[in-house]
Amino acid sequence: DTEVTQTPKHLVMGMTNKKSLKCEQHMGHRAMYWYKQKAKKPPELMFVYSYEKLSINESVPSRFSPECPNSSLLNLHLHALQPEDSALYLCASAFRDRERNTIYFGEGSWLTVV
Protein backbone atom coordinates (compact mmCIF):
# COMPACT_ATOMS: atom_id res chain seq x y z
CA ASP A 1 0.00 0.00 0.00
CA THR A 2 1.55 3.28 -1.14
CA GLU A 3 -1.21 5.64 -0.16
CA VAL A 4 -0.98 9.22 1.01
CA THR A 5 -4.40 10.57 1.92
CA GLN A 6 -5.21 14.26 1.77
CA THR A 7 -8.30 16.07 3.02
CA PRO A 8 -10.22 18.03 1.98
CA LYS A 9 -10.01 17.53 -1.79
CA HIS A 10 -11.45 20.98 -2.40
CA LEU A 11 -11.41 24.04 -0.15
CA VAL A 12 -12.73 27.53 -0.76
CA MET A 13 -11.80 30.13 1.83
CA GLY A 14 -11.97 33.86 2.28
CA MET A 15 -8.91 35.96 2.92
CA THR A 16 -9.77 36.33 6.60
CA ASN A 17 -10.51 32.66 7.24
CA LYS A 18 -8.43 30.11 9.11
CA LYS A 19 -8.45 26.61 7.66
CA SER A 20 -6.22 23.54 7.61
CA LEU A 21 -5.17 20.92 5.09
CA LYS A 22 -4.53 17.45 6.41
CA CYS A 23 -2.33 14.60 5.21
CA GLU A 24 -2.00 11.06 6.50
CA GLN A 25 0.19 8.08 5.64
CA HIS A 26 0.61 4.69 7.27
CA MET A 27 3.63 3.42 5.37
CA GLY A 28 6.11 4.10 8.16
CA HIS A 29 7.62 7.00 6.24
CA ARG A 30 9.62 9.44 8.37
CA ALA A 31 9.95 12.24 5.80
CA MET A 32 6.85 14.24 4.89
CA TYR A 33 6.52 17.12 2.47
CA TRP A 34 4.23 19.91 1.36
CA TYR A 35 4.41 21.02 -2.25
CA LYS A 36 2.46 23.79 -4.00
CA GLN A 37 1.51 23.46 -7.66
CA LYS A 38 0.11 26.25 -9.80
CA ALA A 39 -1.65 25.49 -13.07
CA LYS A 40 0.64 24.25 -15.85
CA LYS A 41 3.68 24.39 -13.54
CA PRO A 42 5.73 21.75 -11.73
CA PRO A 43 5.30 21.26 -7.98
CA GLU A 44 7.33 23.60 -5.80
CA LEU A 45 8.66 22.44 -2.46
CA MET A 46 7.34 24.33 0.58
CA PHE A 47 8.28 22.32 3.67
CA VAL A 48 10.04 19.09 4.63
CA TYR A 49 9.58 17.29 7.93
CA SER A 50 12.08 14.67 8.98
CA TYR A 51 11.30 12.54 12.03
CA GLU A 52 8.52 14.96 12.93
CA LYS A 53 10.85 17.96 12.95
CA LEU A 54 10.81 20.74 10.38
CA SER A 55 14.01 20.37 8.37
CA ILE A 56 13.35 22.60 5.37
CA ASN A 57 11.27 25.75 4.94
CA GLU A 58 11.66 27.11 1.43
CA SER A 59 11.11 30.72 2.50
CA VAL A 60 7.36 30.22 2.65
CA PRO A 61 5.26 33.16 3.95
CA SER A 62 4.16 32.83 7.56
CA ARG A 63 0.51 32.71 6.54
CA PHE A 64 1.30 29.04 5.84
CA SER A 65 2.07 27.16 9.05
CA PRO A 66 2.98 23.46 8.93
CA GLU A 67 2.57 21.03 11.78
CA CYS A 68 3.56 17.40 12.22
CA PRO A 69 1.71 16.02 15.26
CA ASN A 70 3.10 12.49 14.83
CA SER A 71 4.88 10.31 12.31
CA SER A 72 1.69 9.63 10.32
CA LEU A 73 0.11 13.07 10.16
CA LEU A 74 1.02 16.35 8.52
CA ASN A 75 -1.08 19.50 8.63
CA LEU A 76 -0.85 22.80 6.82
CA HIS A 77 -2.58 25.64 8.66
CA LEU A 78 -3.78 28.51 6.50
CA HIS A 79 -4.50 32.04 7.67
CA ALA A 80 -4.96 35.36 5.93
CA LEU A 81 -4.22 33.94 2.51
CA GLN A 82 -4.19 35.89 -0.71
CA PRO A 83 -5.96 35.01 -3.98
CA GLU A 84 -2.57 34.20 -5.53
CA ASP A 85 -2.23 31.37 -3.00
CA SER A 86 -4.94 29.50 -4.88
CA ALA A 87 -3.30 26.29 -6.10
CA LEU A 88 -3.10 22.52 -5.73
CA TYR A 89 -1.36 21.59 -2.49
CA LEU A 90 0.33 18.21 -2.58
CA CYS A 91 1.44 16.20 0.39
CA ALA A 92 4.13 13.57 -0.03
CA SER A 93 6.07 11.12 2.08
CA ALA A 94 9.14 8.88 1.88
CA PHE A 95 11.38 6.61 3.87
CA ARG A 96 14.53 8.28 5.12
CA ASP A 97 17.04 5.87 3.70
CA ARG A 98 18.86 5.46 0.41
CA GLU A 99 17.47 2.06 -0.38
CA ARG A 100 13.81 2.99 -0.11
CA ASN A 101 13.98 6.50 -1.41
CA THR A 102 10.83 6.97 -3.46
CA ILE A 103 8.63 9.96 -2.63
CA TYR A 104 4.92 9.16 -2.81
CA PHE A 105 2.34 11.84 -3.44
CA GLY A 106 -1.26 12.25 -2.42
CA GLU A 107 -4.05 13.34 -4.75
CA GLY A 108 -3.79 16.90 -3.53
CA SER A 109 -6.07 19.53 -2.06
CA TRP A 110 -7.42 22.17 -4.43
CA LEU A 111 -7.43 25.51 -2.63
CA THR A 112 -9.32 28.55 -3.86
CA VAL A 113 -8.92 31.85 -1.99
CA VAL A 114 -11.68 34.38 -2.63
Partner 1 sequence: AQSVTQLGSHVSVSEGALVLLRCNYSSSVPPYLFWYVQYPNQGLQLLLKYTTGATLVKGINGFEAEFKKSETSFHLTKPSAHMSDAAEYFCAVSRMDSSYKLIFGSGTRLLVRP
Kindly state whether residue 11 participates in binding partner 1, applying the rule CB under 8 A: no
26 binds partner 1 (CB under 8 A): no
74/94 with CB nearer partner 1:
94
Residue 43 within binding range of partner 1, rule CB under 8 A: yes
Q: How many residues bind partner 1 (CB under 8 A)?
A: 26
The reply to whether 50 sits near partner 1 by the rule CB under 8 A is yes
Question: Environment class of residue 4 by beta-carbon count within 10 Å: exposed (0-12), middle (13-18) or buried (19+)?
Answer: buried
Picking from 20, 35, 29, the residue whose alpha carbon sits closest to that of residue 70 is: 29
Q: Which stretch binds partner 1 (CB under 8 A): 13-21, 44-52, 59-67, 73-81?
A: 44-52
Taking CB under 8 A as the criterion, the residue among 48, 74, 76, 113 binding partner 1 is: 48
Contact with partner 1 (CB under 8 A) among 21, 24, 64, 108: 108
45 touches partner 1 by CB under 8 A: yes
Listing DSSP states for 6-48 in one string gives EE-SEEEE-TT-EEEEEEEE-S---EEEEEEE-TTS--EEEEE
Kind plus residue range of the DSSP H or E element containing 92 = strand 87-94
Instruction: Report whether 24 contacts 32 (CB < 8 A).
Output: no
Contact status: 65 vs partner 1 (CB under 8 A): no
